[in-house]
């Protein structure tokens, strides 16, 4: 396995998805040195194998508006290789992305030549393989691309393959995956990282932590009766209720509150289920709205009124239902952002807001442990959420389990 860090020299503070158009990093050099570049410096110091370069324009580093980072020798060679001292493999983002192809509409193959000349050594997913190959071949034969540069790139890639033993065994033994990747110590570390990431952004002081409650199971086998009483209502918002989104969360919650009423909604059925959901919400002592909206590269979201909308926001029908829940029961509702911290910018009145930054299984477990006070919450936002909170914000809470154990 090799480690790649991306997308150089930074792609966080952009307003455009580079899969769809040309994005721009607008910060000046001091901003780049203090925010965008430090993670890459740390990664390079740690010995990463590769750095992927983004199809973004960075005016502070490359004044030519027709050159994105991948085609800029000032960014790839001067900054990444010479100034930051990176000696590993420099890999392009996919060459078929609109952030690059829009600049080469009349000569698709030329993009490959320009990114290689800029200093990239591994070119991936060209928009037109034949045109790219021919353009590279012509540039090599004409001397536009020096033979020495080609040899150096090829040697670097061959050494990387040899370091992984690919010259001896080209295929992965899939039978070993569960033992090599899923080692107990790896799972434990993943859970710890996930626990540490839980961030409490808003807390009205009236709801959290939730308490374990519900029907007590009977002592005789086959005679346990659990009744849904709407003490705790959990509404899982996903893109499709037929997926696994929320299933682990449900199991974790019901292990603590057997009577929890868990309701799944997606954009297709949110409107039709609105009355049922709101009735349960009105009866509830506590409500959890778990929103599984994960940013998807290259996805365009269409608004009901026409045009486009933020692709990391809730679909209109689901968003309307969440707003209704907050209108009905804002004080007793916690919104869980299972993947996208920016969710709350569309719901500025939210009173209890928790971010996990992921919808992986470990994050579902961490979210529930955080809800019930079983772990210390010490996360801080890595980004600013418009209308909600600034980067670095985070309400810290001690573990209730630890407090009980110490007699407090």
Tens of pLDDT, residues 150-200: 999 999 999 999 999 998 888 888 888 878 887 889 889 999 999 999 999
Whole-number pLDDT of residue 212: 85
Whole-number pLDDT of residue 368: 98
Say what the pTM is.
Answer: 0.75
Whole-number pLDDT of residue 408: 47
Whole-number pLDDT of residue 402: 57
- Of the given ranges (13-27, 31-45, 322-336, 374-388), which has the lowest mean pLDDT? 13-27
Judged against a pLDDT cut of 50, whether residue 403 lies above it is answered with: yes
CA distance 121 to 89: 6
C-alpha distance from residue 359 to each of 193, 227, 260, 308 (Å): 14, 29, 21, 25
- Of the given ranges (27-36, 230-239, 321-330, 343-352), which has the lowest mean pLDDT? 27-36
Average pLDDT over residues 74-81: 97
Rounded to the nearest 10 degrees, how much is the dihedral formed by the CA atoms of 198, 199, 200, 201?
-150
- Of the given ranges (142-146, 227-231, 287-291, 376-380), which has the lowest mean pLDDT? 227-231
Tens of pLDDT, residues 128-142: 999 999 999 999 999
Whole-number pLDDT of residue 308: 45
Whole-number pLDDT of residue 66: 86
Whole-number pLDDT of residue 316: 85
Whole-number pLDDT of residue 183: 83
Give which of 374, 290, 286, 370 is closest to 330, Cα–Cα.
Answer: 286
Percent of the chain with pLDDT over 70: 87
All domains of the chain in start order, with CATH: 4-171 (3.20.20.300), 184-214+225-405 (3.40.50.1700)
- Of the given ranges (123-127, 216-220, 317-321, 388-392), which has the lowest mean pLDDT? 216-220
Tens of pLDDT, residues 211-266: 987 555 555 555 454 555 679 999 999 989 999 999 999 999 999 999 999 999 99
Judged against a pLDDT cut of 80, whether residue 74 lies above it is answered with: yes
Tens of pLDDT, residues 331-359: 999 999 998 899 999 999 999 999 999 99
C-alpha distance from residue 341 to each of 252, 254, 286, 381 (Å): 22, 25, 22, 8
Judged against a pLDDT cut of 70, whether residue 210 lies above it is answered with: yes
Average pLDDT of the chain?
88
**pLDDT category, 388, cuts 50, 70, 90?**
very high
């Amino acid at each position: 396995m090799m480690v790649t860090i991306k997308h150089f020299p930074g792609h966080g503070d952009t307003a455009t998805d580079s899969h769809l158009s040309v994005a721009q990093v607008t910060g000046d050099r001091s901003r780049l040195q203090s925010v965008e570049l430090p993670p890459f410096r740390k990664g390079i110091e740690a010995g990463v194998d590769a750095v992927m370069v983004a199809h973004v324009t960075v005016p502070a580093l490359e004044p030519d508006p027709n050159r994105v980072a991948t085609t800029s020798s000032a960014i790839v060679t001067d900054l990444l290789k010479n100034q930051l001292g990176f000696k590993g493999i420099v890999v392009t983002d996919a060459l078929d992305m609109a952030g690059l192809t829009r600049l080469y509409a009349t000569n698709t193959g030329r993009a490959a030549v320009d990114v290689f000349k800029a200093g990239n050594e591994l070119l991936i997913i060209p928009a037109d393989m034949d045109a790219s190959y021919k353009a590279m071949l012509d540039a090599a034969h004409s001397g536009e691309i020096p033979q020495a540069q080609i040899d150096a790139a090829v040697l670097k890639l061959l050494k990387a393959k040899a370091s992984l033993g690919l010259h001896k065994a080209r295929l992965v033994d899939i039978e070993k995956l569960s033992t090599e990747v899923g080692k107990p110590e790896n799972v434990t570390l993943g859970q710890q990282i996930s626990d540490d990431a839980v961030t409490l952004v808003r807390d009205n002081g009236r709801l959290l932590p939730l308490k374990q409650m519900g029907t007590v199971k009977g002592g005789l086998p086959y005679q346990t009766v659990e009744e849904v009483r709407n003490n705790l209502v959990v509404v899982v918002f996903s893109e499709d209720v037929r997926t696994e989104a929320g299933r682990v969360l449900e199991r974790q919650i019901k292990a603590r509150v057997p009577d929890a009423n868990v309701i799944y909604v997606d954009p297709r059925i949110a409107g039709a289920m609105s009355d049922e959901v709101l009735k349960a919400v009105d009866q509830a002592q506590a409500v959890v709205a778990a929103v599984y909206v994960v940013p998807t590269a290259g996805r365009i979201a269409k608004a009901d009124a026409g045009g486009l909308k933020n692709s990391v926001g809730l679909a209109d029908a689901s968003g309307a239902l969440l707003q209704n829940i907050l209108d009905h029961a804002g004080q007793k509702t916690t919104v869980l952002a299972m993947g996208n911290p920016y969710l709350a910018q569309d719901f500025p009145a939210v009173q209890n807001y928790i971010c996990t930054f992921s919808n992986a299984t470990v994050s579902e477990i961490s979210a529930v442990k955080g809800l019930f006070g079983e772990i210390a919450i010490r996360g801080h936002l890595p980004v600013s959420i418009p209308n909600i909170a600034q980067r670095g914000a985070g309400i810290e809470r001690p573990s209730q389990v630890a407090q009980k154990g110490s007699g407090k």
